[in-house]
Amino acid sequence: MLVTFFTLTFALGSFAGAPSNSTGCLCTYGHPCWPTADQFAELESQVSQPLIYPAPTASACYPANDPSGNCTQVMQRWTDGNWRSSIPGSMDEPNFESFVFKNGTISACYLNTSLGTPCEQGSVPVIGVDARTPQDIQVAINFAVRYNLKLVVKNTGHDYLGRSTGRGAFVVWTHKMKNITYDAEFAPEGAPANETYQAMTVGSGVQWHEAYDVANQNGRMMVGAQDIDGSVGAGGGWLQGGGHSSLSPSYGLGVDNVAQITVVTSTGTHLTVNNYQYPDLFWALRGGGGGTYGIVTSVTYRTYQQLSAVLYFMRANVTNATVMKELIGGMLRLQPNLTDDGWSGYGFLENATLTFIGMNPGMSTAAANASTQPLTDYLFSLESKGTSLEVEINPFDTWYAWYTWFKQFFSTGGEDGTNMMITSRLLSRDTLANQYADVAEILYDCQAGINTVSGGKVSQINPDSAGLNPAWRNAVVETVCGVSWAEGTTAEEIAGKIDQLKVWIKDMYALTPQAGAYFNEASLFEIDWQYTFFGSHYGKLKEIKDKYDPYRLFVVAEGVGSEEWNEELTCRW
Ligand SMILES: Cc1cc2nc3c(=O)[nH]c(=O)nc-3n(C[C@H](O)[C@H](O)[C@H](O)COP(=O)(O)OP(=O)(O)OC[C@H]3O[C@@H](n4cnc5c(N)ncnc54)[C@H](O)[C@@H]3O)c2cc1C
Ligand SMILES: *[C@@H]1O[C@H](CO)[C@@H](O)[C@H](O)[C@H]1NC(C)=O
Ligand SMILES: *[C@@H]1O[C@H](CO)[C@@H](O)[C@H](O)[C@H]1NC(C)=O
Ligand SMILES: *[C@@H]1O[C@H](CO)[C@@H](O)[C@H](O)[C@H]1NC(C)=O
Ligand SMILES: *[C@@H]1O[C@H](CO)[C@@H](O)[C@H](O)[C@H]1NC(C)=O
Ligand SMILES: *[C@@H]1O[C@H](CO)[C@@H](O)[C@H](O)[C@H]1NC(C)=O
Ligand SMILES: *[C@@H]1O[C@H](CO)[C@@H](O)[C@H](O)[C@H]1NC(C)=O
Ligand SMILES: *[C@@H]1O[C@H](CO)[C@@H](O)[C@H](O)[C@H]1NC(C)=O
Ligand SMILES: *[C@@H]1O[C@H](CO)[C@@H](O)[C@H](O)[C@H]1NC(C)=O
Ligand SMILES: *[C@@H]1O[C@H](CO)[C@@H](O)[C@H](O)[C@H]1NC(C)=O
Ligand SMILES: *[C@@H]1O[C@H](CO)[C@@H](O)[C@H](O)[C@H]1NC(C)=O
Ligand SMILES: *[C@@H]1O[C@H](CO)[C@@H](O)[C@H](O)[C@H]1NC(C)=O
């Protein structure tokens, strides 16, 4: 299926005159330009599955007095990330299913029917293609270009900027592109004969829990997302935004572990891209952002021999805020050395408790003890200040066994199904050495998540080897601050939450103006987003975007080239 139908030059030469709307606008649902039922029927006859009509997650609970579907199931599984991603209209953060009008009216479909509002479509696309093959995607893209439609690419719907949804849009849903193949001698097309990888190829709808299971069955492990249920997509936005992992300090980021990608561009061409074929597009797809260059149909990743893993578990109860900030700062300061030894870590602040879960693949318990001694010594030095501590080192036979423990540990977490917006910052070695105390003040204030998912191997890789923001190469820690709210919160109250988020963004930016943020874990309100998300690579990414997307079909919020579009991403300036 990995067929290159035309060379790119041919494709560009043949379709140079992109259809365009004289108003410079894309067609959305409800306008006279919207395709007719007959035109959609013709589309349906060309794809492998019936067209889909996405609905908001809670729609089965309406009308409230006579629910049309299985509302019990919706209530039971609301916070289940794998269930949500199996629904074409569902977003992991339900706020991205809603649409806020300028006058403050919110179009949404709440789970809480007692709020008394009707179930509305909000930002959920109205119709689309349930893609199973590259051919389905080619047909869908050609249709969207022909009718000048506002197109959205949706995989799991986990995006924190709502980039996999769009009001009145036509959607290509990649969730069911589920092929997984393990090949111990994978050869990228066009590569020298001696270049092979023990690789796994995932269809773009595969999710990390599925990829990990198959890798494990082959005695392998992979650099992938570390969410609590493995529901993040393995071949979609995660990779294209960068892709951090518990294995990153040892093996690099997602973008550093790809041998080949297949992708359909807006000209309808299915390309196989790697370091030897279309290396510029291969470069951009590794960190230049999802939904921007084409629709990825498969990704081939390197895999690694399954190793043992060792856990460093720390939990501290600290009621004194000054001491808690000291603890956060002190832990930050020690992270560069830990990542250089292969440690990753996830820190969670919840009121007076800081939990930190460190992991190192292939390290013995004794070596783990020695490697973390400076951290352990530091932590116990705070006991005299009223800190109550628990520190443990535990071995696991395999990384997979550790991952299974991790999932169980967080099984009650509210990671999915919550209305929220987040911002992140990539903290450099220099910041951790010199500004750890100032940073800790903000992180305490926002009850931050502290992800030690960079440094180590990530810092050793040439910053220009992938389109990814070069800020990642200096970074050791990614911090995440967020706001959340209950259903029914007014637009004015949500704006207040966003104002709080903006304060943290401004304060972190002021402390670390040279740093960046992680495109996949960020807000719509980052300062100087082009630099913040892509750094010095922005210009080159924009050139590649313009070259491979001559029809300007792929546009997402704060994605490369999106500055040419209005806020709704429907009309060009
Ligand atoms: C609970 C949770 C845990 C997370 N954990 C991690 C983590 O451990 N590490 C990490 O790095 N990130 C993590 N993330 C962030 C994650 O990387 C982003 O949410 C990312 O956007 C998810 O990509 P997706 O394809 O699954 O989701 P989607 O929302 O479906 O897509 C995201 C973006 O990619 C585009 N896209 C999707 N598929 C394709 C495709 N085939 N071709 C082209 N464009 C496509 C979409 O248009 C959209 O712009 C987490 C997110 C959540 C919600
Ligand atoms: C151009 O876009 C506008 C706004 O979406 C729409 O009303 C109009 O019908 C479109 N015209 C064509 C020819 O697509
Ligand atoms: C509704 O969902 C519940 C929980 O998943 C399930 O047990 C039940 O069988 C479902 N009912 C129908 C009619 O699908
Ligand atoms: C707000 O604007 C929307 C869209 O124009 C409209 O449907 C709604 O009635 C307006 N609400 C109020 C309270 O004016
Ligand atoms: C649902 O909304 C009602 C009315 O605002 C409120 O009283 C109730 O607490 C809400 N329920 C939940 C579970 O949030
Ligand atoms: C999935 O894999 C099977 C078996 O290798 C193959 O026949 C099929 O064409 C693949 N489908 C896609 C969409 O790649
Ligand atoms: C493949 O062979 C070339 C030429 O002999 C050599 O330079 C290169 O390092 C080899 N690559 C690998 C991956 O072995
Ligand atoms: C909190 O700790 C700081 C630093 O150790 C100390 O100066 C301060 O008195 C403590 N505050 C309280 C309320 O105990
Ligand atoms: C990191 O390790 C080096 C070499 O062992 C040491 O000199 C340095 O003090 C350590 N840094 C911190 C912050 O502990
Ligand atoms: C943290 O504090 C808030 C507000 O006081 C409370 O609602 C919440 O349950 C607390 N969380 C934990 C884990 O104790
Ligand atoms: C490290 O080893 C020492 C000596 O065996 C032991 O006392 C200590 O508890 C170990 N540290 C951890 C965190 O397990
Ligand atoms: C921290 O507080 C929690 C909740 O009060 C408690 O369960 C836990 O045992 C405490 N941990 C330590 C190390 O004191």
Looking at 250, 273, 305, the residue that finishes a domain is 305
Does position 128 have pLDDT exceeding 80, yes or no? yes
Closest ligand, as measured to the CA of 152: 1
SS3 449: strand
State whether 115 and 229 are in the same domain.
no
Q: How many domains does the chain have?
A: 3
Q: Which of 323, 325, 383 to mutate to test the pocket of ligand 8 (most atoms within 8 A of CB)?
A: 323
Does position 565 have pLDDT exceeding 80, yes or no? yes
* Structural contact between residues 429 and 238, judged by C-beta atoms closer than 8 angstroms: no
Say which range, 69-73, 496-500, 546-550, has the weakest mean pLDDT.
69-73
The reported pLDDT for the residue numbered 127 is 98
- Nearest residue (by CA) to ligand 1, atom 4, is 227
Q: Please report which confidence band the pLDDT of residue 8 belongs to, taking 50, 70 and 90 as the band edges.
A: very low
The reported pLDDT for the residue numbered 19 is 53
- Nearest residue (by CA) to ligand 8, atom 10, is 320
| CA 415/CA 348 separation, integer angstroms | 12
Whether 561 is in a domain gets the answer no
Whether 568 is in a domain gets the answer no
DSSP conformation class of 22:
T
Mean of the per-residue pLDDT values of the chain: 95
Q: Confirm or reject: Cβ of 374 under 6 Å from ligand 9.
A: yes
Does position 182 have pLDDT exceeding 80, yes or no? yes
Q: Confirm or reject: Cβ of 105 under 6 Å from ligand 4.
A: yes
CB atoms within 10 A of CB 67: 16
* Structural contact between residues 376 and 326, judged by C-beta atoms closer than 8 angstroms: no
Report the percentage of the chain scoring pLDDT > 70.
96
Looking at 153, 173, 193, the residue that finishes a domain is 173
* Structural contact between residues 47 and 129, judged by C-beta atoms closer than 8 angstroms: yes
- Nearest 5°: the CA angle 16, 19, 24 is 120
Whether 546 is in a domain gets the answer no
Closest ligand, as measured to the CA of 368: 11
| Helices 321-340 & 436-446 angle (0-180, nearest 10) | 120
State whether 457 and 361 are in the same domain.
yes
Q: Confirm or reject: Cβ of 330 under 6 Å from ligand 9.
A: no
State whether 161 and 52 are in the same domain.
yes
Longest alpha-carbon distance in the chain: 75
State whether 445 and 371 are in the same domain.
yes
Buried b (16+ CB within 10 A) or exposed e, 517-550: bbbbbbbbbbeebbbbbbbebbebbbebbebbbb
* Structural contact between residues 431 and 511, judged by C-beta atoms closer than 8 angstroms: yes
Q: Please report which confidence band the pLDDT of residue 2 belongs to, taking 50, 70 and 90 as the band edges.
A: very low
State whether 299 and 331 are in the same domain.
no
Instruction: Give ligand 10 pocket residues (Cβ under 6 A).
Output: 350-351
Q: Please report which confidence band the pLDDT of residue 14 belongs to, taking 50, 70 and 90 as the band edges.
A: very low
Q: What is the pLDDT of residues 374-429, one digit of tens each?
A: 999 999 999 999 999 999 999 999 999 999 999 988 876 678 999 999 999 999 99
| Cα-based distances in Å from 262 to 65, 66, 138, 228 | 48, 46, 12, 28
Does position 335 have pLDDT exceeding 50, yes or no? yes
* Interstrand relation of 151-154 and 170-173 (parallel, antiparallel or unpaired): parallel
Beta bridge partners of 197: 186
Closest ligand, as measured to the CA of 385: 8
The reported pLDDT for the residue numbered 64 is 85
| Distance from residue 322's CA to the centre of ligand 8 (Å) | 6
Q: What is the pLDDT of residues 200-227, one digit of tens each?
A: 999 999 999 999 999 999 999 999 999 9
Q: What is the pLDDT of residues 223-237, one digit of tens each?
A: 999 998 999 999 999
Q: What is the dihedral of CA 152, 153, 156, 159, to 10 degrees?
A: -60
Name the strands in the sheet holding 353-361, side by side, starting at the edge strand that comes first in the sequence.
Answer: 388-396, 309-317, 353-361, 344-350, 449-452, 475-485, 419-428
Q: Confirm or reject: Cβ of 429 under 6 Å from ligand 9.
A: no
The reported pLDDT for the residue numbered 42 is 98
Looking at 305, 330, 363, the residue that finishes a domain is 305
State whether 20 and 154 are in the same domain.
yes
Give the chain's radius of gyration (CA, Å): 23
State whether 91 and 203 are in the same domain.
no
State whether 137 and 191 are in the same domain.
no
Q: Mean pLDDT throughout 63-74?
A: 87
SS3 510: helix
| Distance from residue 105's CA to the centre of ligand 4 (Å) | 6
Whether 548 is in a domain gets the answer no
Sign of CA dihedral 377, 378, 381, 385: negative
Give the closest residue to 122 by CA, choosing from 56, 199, 211. Answer: 56
| Distance from residue 419's CA to the centre of ligand 5 (Å) | 15
Phi, psi (rounded to 5 degrees) for 507: -65, -40
Strands (E), 80-196: 99-100, 106-107, 127-130, 151-154, 170-173, 180-186
Query: Residue 559 belongs to what H/E stretch?
Result: none
State whether 369 and 502 are in the same domain.
yes
| CA 475/CA 468 separation, integer angstroms | 13
The reported pLDDT for the residue numbered 20 is 58
Instruction: Give ligand 6 pocket residues (Cβ under 6 A).
Output: 1, 133, 179
| Distance from residue 348's CA to the centre of ligand 12 (Å) | 14
Report the atom number in ligand 9 closest to the C-alpha of 374.
Answer: 14
Does position 30 have pLDDT exceeding 90, yes or no? yes
Report the atom number in ligand 1 closest to the C-alpha of 177.
Answer: 41
- Count the residues in the chain: 573
Whether 264 is in a domain gets the answer yes
Query: Residue 270 belongs to what H/E stretch?
Result: strand 270-273
- Nearest residue (by CA) to ligand 10, atom 6, is 351
* Structural contact between residues 150 and 569, judged by C-beta atoms closer than 8 angstroms: yes
Whether pTM > 0.85 for this model: the answer is: yes
Q: Confirm or reject: Cβ of 422 under 6 Å from ligand 11.
A: no
Instruction: Output the six-digit token pair for 347.
Output: 């820190």
| Distance from residue 512's CA to the centre of ligand 8 (Å) | 28
- Nearest residue (by CA) to ligand 6, atom 7, is 1
Query: Residue 374 belongs to what H/E stretch?
Result: helix 373-381
Whether 514 is in a domain gets the answer yes
Whether 63 is in a domain gets the answer yes
State whether 193 and 166 are in the same domain.
no
State whether 60 and 143 are in the same domain.
yes
Instruction: Output the six-digit token pair for 79.
Output: 């916070």
Report the percentage of the chain scoring pLDDT > 90.
92
Q: Please report which confidence band the pLDDT of residue 69 belongs to, taking 50, 70 and 90 as the band edges.
A: confident
| Distance from residue 101's CA to the centre of ligand 4 (Å) | 7
Whether 471 is in a domain gets the answer yes
Does position 265 have pLDDT exceeding 80, yes or no? yes
Does position 13 have pLDDT exceeding 50, yes or no? no
Q: Mean pLDDT throughout 429-435?
A: 98
CATH number at residue 427: 3.40.462.20
State whether 357 and 263 are in the same domain.
no
Q: Confirm or reject: Cβ of 391 under 6 Å from ligand 11.
A: yes
| CA 100/CA 106 separation, integer angstroms | 4
Tell the burial category of 16 from Cβ atoms under 10 Å away from its Cβ (0-12, 13-18, 19+).
exposed
Q: Mean pLDDT throughout 95-109?
A: 97
| Distance from residue 488's CA to the centre of ligand 3 (Å) | 26
Q: Please report which confidence band the pLDDT of residue 571 belongs to, taking 50, 70 and 90 as the band edges.
A: very high
Report the atom number in ligand 5 closest to the C-alpha of 488.
Answer: 5
Closest ligand, as measured to the CA of 33: 2
Domain range for 454: 309-397+406-534
Does position 338 have pLDDT exceeding 90, yes or no? yes
Q: Please report which confidence band the pLDDT of residue 21 belongs to, taking 50, 70 and 90 as the band edges.
A: low
Does position 341 have pLDDT exceeding 80, yes or no? yes
Instruction: Give ligand 7 pocket residues (Cβ under 6 A).
Output: 192, 194-195
CATH number at residue 224: 3.30.465.10
The reported pLDDT for the residue numbered 3 is 32
